A and B are shown apart, each in its own frame.
Chain A
């Protein structure tokens, strides 16, 4: 469980402090698939980095399983938007996955076998010995997902992981992500600016926005599982939820314009 407790972030701008987000409060229960949406520049990535322990907030705190997050912990893993820049280019796909595993704990042969298991899970067993630069964007992101899990994390923080992919690869990766989540075996938090993707994937959508970003809306996504690219997106409930999310988003934007 991740607990965000009146988290605020400011950054210096023209000699004074400008707020990025203000007084965010929410919990992510274990096994939830939470999507965070909001306009670009609203601090979604910064929020995710605070949750990962990569960035320190100005005030407030993040608790992960009741412990304060001050630095990255192995239970929480982050998947970045630009997988080509987060994979080690001098290592093969498999070596990238092995890299994430704790050193010394098991023999390198065992690690390699376990890593192969993760590669199979993301559908890349045949590309194990390829280098990242030999793989397509979608495949690179699959390697990044495998690596994130190989580190032993059961909570993944995903920062617009599919933003640079084409529609086909994106749909495949979304379904892979749902399979990895396994109906609540892991906790996923995804940041995206794509409302449809947020609804398709998640249990719950958190809408951020406003001049100094606050939580604009918190919507439970009661779409049935398993999700299916055509039927789920064609569900009348999907449209209703989409309208609700958009209302919250435009409400935040409206306040910004005032």
Chain B
């Protein structure tokens, strides 16, 4: 009860601070310190957002769909690769060089190659965002397995668990919180890379909308697109946090609490 109270007060304080920032922003705009047309006031942004709102949902959905698909593919691929690395030494030794060669490649540098391979369609965006977001999952799964307390593995052995049982019933659950941390990072990366690709190849999505608006000088549409991007990012983060908090509840407050 007390805890719920505190979080309520915290939320109130957070909202008050946002209101304060908005007021400050309006003040700066009204004061004329910034030259006309360089900084829109919060009122202008909001008005543009409402005016352009009919055009936003379709684009937001396109961005959201591709982000989630890339996250799913890249996340699962990265986790699988990382688990393979952590669990099977032979697999690690075989693939280590190839992976360490690929991993530092900036994902946006793959856009030209992607255009060549996939053309300028959904596939391109998904492939590049998936590539980018696979790596944090790879690392967290690999290190999660490596970091499992050796005493848990000794315990599994003394309890007579075989190798397959130990992997399934001890190693995977023990590495699970680390894997979730990797997924949280990966979702942010998938979203950022997806939007970057949209900015470079403005065909579909909120990033494409922002890019074309900027080129056409439609500042209202640009503000609306940016605000919508912020909201989509917030939504994604919120959904994943809610989903994982429940899954991690049994692991204790250091995993299930906090942001």
- A interface residues (Cβ-Cβ under 8 A, vs B): 52-54, 71-74, 76-78, 80, 82, 85-86, 88-92, 99-100, 102, 131, 133-134, 151
Min C-beta distance of B136 to chain A, whole Å: 22
CB atoms of B152 and A90 under 8 A apart? no
Other than the given A53-B158, A72-B160, 5 more pairs (CB < 8 A) read: A72-B159, A76-B158, A88-B155, A91-B250, A133-B252
- Which chain A positions have C-beta within 8 A of B154? 54, 78, 80, 86
- Which chain B positions have C-beta within 8 A of A80? 151, 154-155
CB nearest to B254 among chain A residues: A133
CB atoms of B151 and A89 under 8 A apart? no
| Interface membership of chain B positions 162-178, coded 1 if the CB is closer than 8 angstroms to chain A and 0 otherwise | 00000001100110100
Asked if B149 is at the interface (CB within 8 A of a chain A CB), the reply is: yes
By secondary structure, the B interface counts as helix
What separation, in Å, do the CA atoms of A14 and B124 have in the docked complex? 55
A54 touching B251 in the complex, CB below 8 Å, given contacts A85-B151, A88-B170, A90-B176? no
A54 touching B157 in the complex, CB below 8 Å, given contacts A89-B252, A90-B250? yes
What separation, in Å, do the CA atoms of A74 and B169 have in the docked complex? 18
- Which chain B positions have C-beta within 8 A of A151? 158-160
CB atoms of A72 and B158 under 8 A apart? yes
Q: List 20 A-B contacts (CB under 8 A).
A: A52-B158, A53-B158, A54-B158, A71-B157, A72-B157, A72-B160, A77-B159, A82-B151, A85-B151, A86-B155, A88-B173, A88-B174, A89-B250, A90-B176, A90-B251, A92-B250, A99-B169, A102-B160, A131-B252, A151-B159
What separation, in Å, do the CA atoms of A62 and B243 have in the docked complex? 50
The interface size of chain B toward A, counting residues with CB under 8 Å, comes to 18
What separation, in Å, do the CA atoms of A146 and B136 have in the docked complex? 39
By secondary structure, the A interface counts as loop
CB nearest to B160 among chain A residues: A74
- Which chain A positions have C-beta within 8 A of B157? 54, 71-72
CB atoms of B151 and A86 under 8 A apart? yes
What separation, in Å, do the CA atoms of A73 and B159 have in the docked complex? 8
- Which chain A positions have C-beta within 8 A of B176? 90
